[in-house]
Amino acid sequence: MSEGYDIVLASASPRRRELLAQTGVDFRVHAVDADETLDERLAADPVEAVKKLAERKAKAAVEQLVTPDYDGTMIVLGSDTMVVFRGEIFGKPHDADDARRMLRALSGHGHDVHTAVSLWAVHAPAGQDVGLFYRTFVDTTYVYFRDLDDDEIEAYIASGDPFDKAGAYGIQSGAGVFVDHIEGSLDTVIGFPVERLRREFPDIFDVG
């Protein structure tokens, strides 16, 4: 593993895997099924909510992977992305009607995309006390959609692309044509802000 670290991405997302690979580090994927429910307080604070979900994912992976016989240093990355329109969190749509509602709301307007990355570093030398450090950051990009007509919304829904994506769209796939412009990082919208990760943790991810 890179520089003696066992680096783990706690996500099954192929998009996050591709983006992390751009850093040049060796890593492995360990998908987790973390609790993604939000209480009323968190639902009212999307930035805090996305941080909490990223932390839950990283923590779940640490709990599964750092067994009593683990010997080494593990870096675990958890991430979550939220689309927020006028204070409302747009998660993955439940069905076609929900996707239609979201896309019609976003049409002709701007919205925030928040992506949180939570890095957990665990130092666990055999037979000694375990050391744990974690830090979480949130990167935000503002995305502007052009006006969408009903036919293109229906065609996009029929493609099946919206259903596993926050906000019912994937900027890197069929919905890229919906975007007029963005303010911020495209990687943040896709789901993993690589350049921000390098800036936050240069000792690990600045590989020249």
Q: What are phi and psi of 74, to 5 degrees?
A: -115, 135
Give burial (CB, 10 Å; 0-12/13-18/19+) of 95: exposed
For residue 151, what are the domain limits?
A: 2-205
Looking at the 3D structure of the chain, how many domains does it have? 1
State the pLDDT at residue 208: 54
Using an 8 Å Cβ cutoff, are 61 and 121 in contact? Answer: no
Q: What are phi and psi of 140, to 5 degrees?
A: -125, 135
Using an 8 Å Cβ cutoff, are 204 and 30 in contact? Answer: no
Length of the chain: 208
DSSP string, 53-104: HHHHHHHHHHHHH--TT--EEEEEEEEEEEEEETTEEE-S-SSHHHHHHHHH
On the question of pLDDT at 2 being above 70, the answer is: no
Among 111, 117, 106, 100, which Cα is nearest to 11's? 117
Residues catalogued as catalytic? 80
End-to-end CA distance of the chain: 16
d(CA 207, CA 200): 14
Using an 8 Å Cβ cutoff, are 179 and 171 in contact? Answer: yes
The angle, 0 to 180 degrees and rounded to 10, between the axes of the packed helices 96-106 and 150-159 is 140
pLDDT, tens only, 139-164: 999 999 999 999 999 999 999 999 99
pLDDT, tens only, 42-97: 889 999 999 999 999 999 999 999 888 888 899 999 999 999 999 999 999 999 99
pLDDT band at 127 (very low <50, low <70, confident <90, very high): low
d(CA 201, CA 176): 30
Q: Tell me what percent of the residues of the chain surpass a pLDDT of 90.
A: 79
CATH number of the domain where residue 171 is located: 3.90.950.10
